[in-house]
Amino acid sequence: MSRAPNAQKQSLPASSIPPRIFLVGFMGSGKTTIGRLLARRLGRPFIDLDERIVERTGRSISRLFAERGEAAFRQLETELIGEVIDEPEAVISLGGGAFVSEVNRRMIQASGVSIWLDCAFEIIVKRLEGTNDRPLNTSPEQLRRLLESRLSSYAQADLRIDASRSQPAELVEEIIGRLRDRSTRRSSST
Ligand code: S3P
């Protein structure tokens, strides 16, 4: 994977940023866009878990849900999380439901840092309008119920970023700053 010029210009002490960064949050919260930018900024591989599932099965997410059901999809999600936690370094975007499972959360928490991209519901609905590639996006009402039922899981991420107001590039810098602060606090408390 190519390294962005930025990642080389400004030295980011490798030790201050955990090797594996997991982006969690609801559909449409920007996990893939921000994950890709963050990976480029850090000069690390980017992994989108849904893309991995599609590559592995040769089926779109919608087709997987239709042919095998959500439970089978969730099982694949857990299996693939079990693989990516062993990557030497990566930025990993998870599907919106992946952090709901306690088994998944435990694997992720033991492997690296999790970041919740917390995005306002109105923005999410706007972004998802007119898209038809997410089987659980059946109506705004259903989306709201689903989001509400997941908030307590997302809140278990190590960091929460307000993803509603800033542009992706700014959010990436905010994430890097928060990760550095966290590492400084940790090393000064030992
Ligand atoms: C899902 C979110 C989707 C995808 C699948 C299920 C969910 O990923 O994993 O459609 O349960 O919220 P994104 O969050 O990347 O849209």
pLDDT tens column, 140-161: 999 999 999 999 999 999 999 9
> What confidence score (pLDDT) does residue 76 get?
98
CA dist., res. 95 & res. 51, Å (int): 10
Whether residue 18 has pLDDT greater than 50: yes
Does the CB atom of residue 96 touch ligand 1 within 6 A? yes
> What confidence score (pLDDT) does residue 1 get?
41
CA dist., res. 45 & res. 42, Å (int): 9
Does the CB atom of residue 95 touch ligand 1 within 6 A? yes
Contact predicate 112/22, CB 8 Å:
yes
Ligand 1 atom closest to 62 (CA)? 10
Residue whose CA is at the smallest distance from ligand 1 atom 15: 95
> How sure is the predictor about 9, in pLDDT bands with cuts at 50, 70 and 90?
very low
Summarised one tens digit per residue, pLDDT across range 61-76 is 999 999 999 999 999 9
How many Å lie between the centroid of ligand 1 and the Cα of residue 96? 4
> What confidence score (pLDDT) does residue 5 get?
45
Numbers of helices and strands, H then E, in the chain = 9, 5
pTM for the complete prediction?
0.92
Ligand 1 atom closest to 25 (CA)? 14
Ligand 1 atom closest to 133 (CA)? 10
Residue whose CA is at the smallest distance from ligand 1 atom 1: 96
> What confidence score (pLDDT) does residue 185 get?
80
Question: On the CB side of 171, how many CA atoms lie within 13 Å of its CA?
Answer: 27
Q: What are phi and psi of 138, to 5 degrees?
A: -100, -30
Whether residue 190 has pLDDT greater than 70: no
Alpha helices per DSSP H over 43-190: 49-57, 61-68, 70-84, 102-111, 121-128, 140-154, 168-188
> What confidence score (pLDDT) does residue 184 get?
83
Whether residue 3 has pLDDT greater than 60: no
Place of tokens 């590492």: 183
